[in-house]
Structure 1
Amino acid sequence: MKSLKQIFELYDEILSLPHKQEVARELRDEDDLFLLLLYSDMLGIPNPAFYYTLELYPYIIERFHDWHLRMGMDKSPLEGIRCC
């Protein structure tokens, strides 16, 4: 007999199954917006949070290539970051 926790997990999975693509798309859009905010100063868009986001660059640089390809840019738009 299944435990109550397993039943709740199964119920949650059944309810969320049709919405997995929507949730994944929303998370990707949120991630893209965050990366735009992070690199906006380098793109020429004033960023009031530049000082606070500067320390995040080493962690985000690995995902930059996927981001600029999703944004429709074949090559990196930033001169300092050569990922292609």
Structure 2
Amino acid sequence: MASKRISLKRLFQYYDEVLSLPHKSEVARELRDEDDLFLLLVYSDMLGIPNPAFYYTLELYPYILEKFHEWHIRMGMEKSPLTGFRCC
């Protein structure tokens, strides 16, 4: 009975991989776009866009500093586009 469960579990894992294989790049692109949107929302106050949740997102800055650095390098900016905010 245990070997049947293991083989059934493997079958479900294989089925899931087969279905998701052609869409891995699309999923990765969507996740990257969501991360970019989140960074925009968090740093919007520094960009001059009013952010009503600025007080709550302020404590997230130390945790997403590395993501911000990767983002502005990916966007083709050698230095941080925000004045007074150094990440490099």
> What TM-score results when the alignment is normalised by the length of structure 2?
0.85
2:36 pairs with 32, 37, 41, which one? 32
Which has the larger displacement, 15-24 or 41-50?
41-50
Q: Equivalent residue for 1:75?
A: 79
> In structure 2, how many angstroms separate the alpha carbons of the residues matched to 1:41 and 1:73?
19
Does the C-alpha gap of structure 1 residues 46 and 72 become closer, same or farther in structure 2, counting only changes over 3 Å?
Answer: farther
Alignment of 1:1-84 (within 5 A): 3-84=7-88
| Aligned residues with identical type, % of pairs | 81
CA deviation after TM superposition for structure 1 residue 69, in Å? 2.3
Which has the larger displacement, 46-55 or 21-30?
46-55
Q: State the one-letter code of the partner of 2:16.
A: D
> In structure 1, how many angstroms separate the alpha carbons of the residues matched to 2:72 and 2:44?
12
Rg comparison, structure with higher value: 2
CA deviation after TM superposition for structure 1 residue 48, in Å? 1.3
CA deviation after TM superposition for structure 1 residue 77, in Å? 1.2
Which 5+ residue runs of structure 1 have no aligned equivalent? none
- After superposition, give the CA deviation of every residue in 1:44-78 in whole Å (9 maximum; x if it has no partner): 11111111111111100111111112334332012
> In structure 2, how many angstroms separate the alpha carbons of the residues matched to 1:69 and 1:43?
17
> In structure 1, how many angstroms separate the alpha carbons of the residues matched to 2:66 and 2:25?
24
Q: State the one-letter code of the partner of 1:50.
A: F
Which 5+ residue runs of structure 2 have no aligned equivalent? none
Q: State the one-letter code of the partner of 1:46.
A: P
Aligned residues: 84
